[in-house]
A and B are shown apart, each in its own frame.
Chain A
Amino acid sequence: MERKKSPVLSSILSLIIPGLGQVYAGSPSRGAAFFTAVAITALLVHWQGNGPLYTGVVVAWLWNVWDAYNLARERRISPALPFLVIALTLYIIGWRVTEINLRRLLTDVADVKPLVSNLFHPAVFERDIEKLVGEVQFESPCSDSPPPKGTPLEDEPYLVFVDKTCGDPGDTFTIEGGNFWPSSKGYIWWSNLAGEMQFRVRYKGNYLTFETDEEGRIPPITVVVQEPFAEAKGKGPQLYRVQARMQREVGSPHLSRTFFLVVEKMIVTIFLALMATTIAIFIAIPISFLAARNLMGGNPISMAIYYIVRTILNIMRSIEPLIMAIIFVVWVGLGPFAGVLALAVHSIAALGKLYSEAVESIDPGPIEAITATGANRLQTIVYAVIPQIVPPYLAFTIYRWDINVRMSTIIGFVGGGGIGYLLQQWIRLLMYKEAGAAVWAIAIVVAIMDYASAKVREIII
């Protein structure tokens, strides 16, 4: 006969510590579950410091008292209610900590439009650019002999001063010109005499533009005298070039420089994956034999090696290649070599495991049959073991190469070289059309690799 449990004592125990009453009533696992659920929820709510959320904890706690009371009377009641309350509380916390903001998702959709549009207009084609420049020299501040006003040229684009040819920063002067393309727009540029310091002139915040008439003449434009460049400060009167520049696209579209750069880096990326995979193959094959239970079983020493190798492989596989890449970038510097090493290390672990499983699943029958013919050990391996492991080894290797091509684009983001590195730079420089070209290249190559590797695996298995 079992001793009767007191429902009241059970309730009080659960009121003090959730789950204790359940333990008393003879259901320790139920008690542990209640304690864990209530304790974790209470800690999370406390961490969030949100008053109303305590309701969930209180409900679960009180229900747990009720449950302890019933358990002592040998009645099990369904824990659906506290389960739902705790789940709801956890999801509310989850919603808050991940900062989910659906309104922003809808209202700020316009922000992403230019980016997406640029991604869909990758910089694959471009046209040649033709430029037209006319200039005069301005002096600031004025010296005793200011420069001439300039003279209109016969055939070439030119600029001349209308009023003055020198002045202090902040003054204004007027220029006009001719022999530019008719009815076209252009910008005014300011540079030092050597030409290595230059910028587009602004007027009231906007770039200063002009538009030519039908005969290619630039109407008079007012320009503000710019502040001197840093190295010219306090050096007295300096000459500056004032230029009117126009440019237009000519000829038919052709493949862009970006395109060739993307192709080049894509090739680097594929090779990066190839080298990483190949290095991994050579190391993973011997390791795979050490990690195959059917080869290593038998004596305790080989079993110990088996467990050690398996453990190392599992640890290696659990480290993300991205983290490996960061380590190798520090070690061997930015560039594809770091990427090769990171992917190789990860691939050794992955292939080692897959290969060893292929070895474990070979059929011992053919080995038996060939041994029975009087063949020696090497012949047995060549005729009975290798034919069985080559197809899976090949399939896993091609699959791995495919994965490595995909991963190497991500590896590039942390400095592992290849197309990812380029993509990451373009994104940071807001060059979305170029980034678009890279994204498309990655998508196309990955899709082709994916399809090809699936086909090849289909054939050899």
Chain B
Amino acid sequence: MLRIEHLTKIYADGTLALDDVSFEVPDGEFLVVLGLSGAGKSTLLRCINRLIEPTAGRIIWDGTDITAASGEELRQIRRHIGMIFQEFNLVERTSVLTNVLTGRLGYVNPWLSIFHHFPKGEVDRALRNLDRVGIADLAHKRADELSGGQRQRVGIARALMQEPRLMLADEPVASLDPVLAHSILRYLEQLNQEDGITVICSLHFLDLVRRYASHVVGLKNGRVVFQGLPEEITDQRFKEIYGEEAERVTVT
């Protein structure tokens, strides 16, 4: 159970990105965070693993206060939270295998890892995870030779290396062809249903939300404007989240 209490983030330039956000995520949920660009979705996800430091509020995960964790504790917590990104954030010019192995850095011997040494077992694990996302044959290619869809699968394989209990997905399909969006989201759905990993995913398209989400949080200007089931999002609700002039866009 992840509980977010009165989370507020004000950036150094005075921008109010999150304004007293509170909600709960029960284990095993596929929660979609819905909202316009700039609504605070990315800030919210990054506050959960503290890539961004919240200004106020608490985040409690299975009884542990993430917001209070210090350096080493925070790294222990982060190990169990996978994250995938809109821009994939792979290390270009490095092999796919190495990119996937970096997902294991929190577990392996830090001194050996600095010399790019990983135990055989971890390499096997990386290959298994690549196989799981269907790109085992690309293990020795350089990351920058891959297509967008392949890169995001590398991103998922990297997150899987952490054996996560929670997966944060920041607009995972916004940089991809709509056709590829389903293939990526299906992997997330599979992780959610087969491995019981809690997923918190920010998305743009309502069709995708209806198809994959088990629960939805709508954000607008840093505030929660909707909490509920995907089928509860009527056109009226949609307009509340996206503004009056919004029209629904269909994704095949």
Contact = CB atoms under 8 A, between A and B. Distances in A.
Interface in B132-179: 155, 158-159, 161-162, 168
A384 B79 CA distance: 17
A414 B179 CA distance: 67
A388 interface: yes
A350 to B, nearest CB: 24
Interface of A: 363, 365-366, 368-376, 378-379, 382-384, 387-388, 391
A398 to B, nearest CB: 17
12 contacts: A363-B89, A366-B89, A369-B83, A370-B102, A372-B83, A373-B82, A374-B79, A374-B106, A379-B114, A383-B102, A387-B91, A388-B91
Interface centre among A366, A371, A382, by most B CB within 10 Å?
Answer: A366
Contact of A379 (B93, B113, B159, B168): B113
B40 interface: no
B218 interface: no
B90 A374 contact: no
Given A374-B105, A375-B106, A376-B110, 5 more contacts: A366-B91, A372-B49, A372-B78, A378-B110, A383-B102
A366 B79 contact: no
Interface of B: 49, 51, 75-79, 81-83, 85, 87-94, 98, 102-107, 110, 113-114, 155, 158-159, 161-162, 168
A374 B162 contact: yes
Contacts of B161: 373
Contact of A368 (B51, B105, B158): B51
A373 B78 contact: yes
Contacts of B77: 374
Tell me whether chain B's interface is mostly helix, strand or loop, or mixed: mixed
Nearest to B45: A372
B166 to A, nearest CB: 11
A383 B116 CA distance: 9
Contacts of A375: 75, 102, 105-106
Contacts of B81: 372
Contacts, number: 83
B87 A365 contact: yes
A335 to B, nearest CB: 41
Given A365-B89, A388-B91, A376 B83 contact: no
B78 A374 contact: yes
Contacts of B75: 374-376
Nearest to A379: B105
B94 to A, nearest CB: 5
A373 B102 contact: yes
Contacts of A365: 85, 87-89
Contacts of A370: 91, 102, 105
Contacts of A374: 75-79, 105-107, 162
Nearest to A372: B83
A-B pairs with the 3 shortest C-beta distances? A374-B106, A365-B89, A374-B79
Nearest to B94: A387
A370 B159 CA distance: 10
Contacts of A368: 51, 85, 89
A456 to B, nearest CB: 15
Contacts of A379: 105, 110, 113-114
A382 B103 CA distance: 14
A369 B114 contact: no
Interface centre among A363, A369, A370, A375, by most B CB within 10 Å?
Answer: A369
A372 B78 CA distance: 6
Contacts of A384: 91
A371 B51 contact: yes
A383 B104 CA distance: 12
Contacts of A378: 110, 114
Contacts of B90: 366, 369
A373 B103 contact: yes
Nearest to B86: A365
A388 to B, nearest CB: 7
A350 B88 CA distance: 34
Contacts of B98: 383
Contacts of B87: 365
A373 B158 contact: yes
A298 to B, nearest CB: 9
A362 to B, nearest CB: 11
Nearest to A369: B89
Contacts of A376: 75, 105, 110
Contacts of A372: 49, 51, 78, 81-83, 168
Contact of A373 (B85, B93, B114, B162): B162
Given A369-B83, A372-B81, A373-B158, A387 B102 contact: no
A209 B98 CA distance: 82
A388 B90 CA distance: 11
A379 B114 CA distance: 6
Nearest to A370: B102
A378 B106 CA distance: 12
A368 B87 CA distance: 11
A370 B106 CA distance: 9
A426 B44 CA distance: 73
A274 to B, nearest CB: 26
A382 to B, nearest CB: 5
Contacts of B92: 363, 366, 387-388
